[in-house]
Structure 1
């Protein structure tokens, strides 16, 4: 398996509600078939982080008992999907659907973030320095990779546009926060595949100086750039499906990265 540990199945009543919600929004999407562009991917970015922030609150037991099953992993991804798609479909009735989708996502994201930060302050565990440094490194790495991609594969970069940039930043954030968490803050890596990469790095001569996270950073960035390039042709042929795949790839990086960023800032290892 390559899934992180800690995944649990919610109680049957909550699972039934969640599956019904997923089925309902999936049916609505199939009927409406709204266009999905690079700007739509960017508008969903706050929602990608929302699920991770809610999961942090679940880990810290900060949510009401009725909400806890819906914020566990992997149920939180289904819960976020249901709410985000419902908001998206409703936002399409407005004059600026993408702005409405992004704006509501940012407002929704602020709630679990504020709750987690309040926990960190009240418990005396708030320590944002290293997470913020990881965010800075992720921004730098993301910008460098994106600029390099635009210069080397200009046509492909133009096709994927902002969605491609979000993919690279999301995976840079996941990589940088994971490296900081493992090498500096003493957190363990839960994903078996990532753990294997770090165990390999631990056996290299560079381990005493560079730690074990650097190789994970390199692998993540190389894979992210490669996936963006591979999907560029698909976006040309089928834009809606191509950008949908880019959104999924972005979520796989941005979600864990946002989770690490918030958890490391408010909870000591």
Structure 2
């Protein structure tokens, strides 16, 4: 313990984090070289990169063969039953736990970076990051559009391997690095007196990225046969999510004001981000026919899939036919988001404003990012 404290005093926590990051990479590379089949083929590729590869190739799954990975467009179930090494698009429990650990580790690194830059104690920075959360979902929808383009025999705007940068979960890293780059550049511009506010400029740049992406998706929906514009999805999702989140916010304000004291309107946005995710999932799973959207989507997250399967097993068939089976996911999202917001009381935020702000940004992003993607891909018929 004393050795660790001396190292922190001598090098600083930021440099130690960078050192640990390099060490982890070296260990991972060494493990892959020492046992490629066990470490790469049956772990890193099967659970992490293989799903991205299959998604980028618009394949139903991908198989690791002696000559390398190959996309499979049918016969995935048979391949799995035969014991072949298969990776399917989407998430598994293993990958979600892995990504959660990576997220926590990277948040620590970002905290040290923000501490070094001496920023992120002002809650206004949270609002500057919201456009980048929306950007992640919008860019992921662009990748969905490339899949539809390939299916239609059209050359997409982004092809593999570049398209892998905007596939979940790599898209989170892409937007994360882009956000950091914009933030650091804006901080530098403010320090040199070029701009007045780094967080306003950061938010404006993020908003511009979102606007350009949405304009492109609108162009695709209006001019390409493989996409169709369904604004009812966007309108319904935003209206329902806004009503539910604001209703909860006002309910807390009236009966448990202490829940809102710490976060204020940031807490409202946290709940709203997860409400977008919950409402979008429910609409895409059960209510697209009611919105006259002739599309079918399936859950890719184990948690959502588990909730739907449990509801199908427990809920009467007649009720399932009437209201669907995905509605508990929305309840869970709202409940968890509200619980998280309640943990950020004024004392915690005053004691660790930078840490609290970073956590609130992360909590919002993991709801608003996927929710935006689901909402937009149905809105643009992709």
Normalised to the residue count of structure 2, the TM-score between the two structures is 0.61
DSSP-derived class of the 1:44 partner? helix
Cα distance change, pair 142–6 in 1 and its aligned pair in 2 (3 A): farther
DSSP-derived class of the 1:73 partner? coil
Q: How does 1:150-169 map to 2 (within 5 A)?
A: 150-169=253-272
Match of 1:242 in 2: 356
Deviation by residue 1:234-253 (Cα, 9 ceiling, x = unmatched): 32431110111111010011
1:263 paired to 2:377:
yes
Q: How does 1:1-269 map to 2 (within 5 A)?
A: 7-8=51-52, 29=114, 31-61=116-146, 62-65=156-159, 67-92=162-187, 93=190, 94-122=195-223, 123=225, 125-185=228-288, 186-203=296-313, 204-205=315-316, 206-232=319-345, 234-267=348-381
Whichever of the two has the greater Rg, that structure is 2
Q: Unpaired runs of 5+ in structure 1?
A: 11-21
Superposition deviation, residue 56 in structure 1? 1.1
Match of 1:15 in 2: none
Cα distance change, pair 160–7 in 1 and its aligned pair in 2 (3 A): farther
Superposition deviation, residue 262 in structure 1? 0.8
Superposition deviation, residue 130 in structure 1? 2.7
Deviation by residue 1:120-173 (Cα, 9 ceiling, x = unmatched): 112252112133212211110011011112223323312112221111000011
Deviation by residue 1:12-35 (Cα, 9 ceiling, x = unmatched): xxxxxxxxxx9xx95854531412
Superposition deviation, residue 213 in structure 1? 2.2
Deviation by residue 1:210-243 (Cα, 9 ceiling, x = unmatched): 1112211111101110111123353243111011
Q: Unpaired runs of 5+ in structure 2?
A: 1-46, 57-105, 147-155, 289-295
Distance 2:174 2:157 in 1: 14
- Does the 8 Å contact 1:163/1:247 carry over to 2? no
Cα distance change, pair 97–252 in 1 and its aligned pair in 2 (3 A): same
- Does the 8 Å contact 1:127/1:266 carry over to 2? yes
Match of 2:73 in 1: none
DSSP-derived class of the 1:34 partner? coil
Deviates more, 1:78-87 or 1:234-243: 234-243
Deviates more, 1:25-34 or 1:72-81: 25-34
- Does the 8 Å contact 2:133/2:369 carry over to 1? yes
Distance 1:58 1:70 in 2: 9
Superposition deviation, residue 7 in structure 1? 4.4
Runs of at least 4 residues off by over 4 Å: 3-7, 25-28
Cα distance change, pair 5–192 in 1 and its aligned pair in 2 (3 A): farther
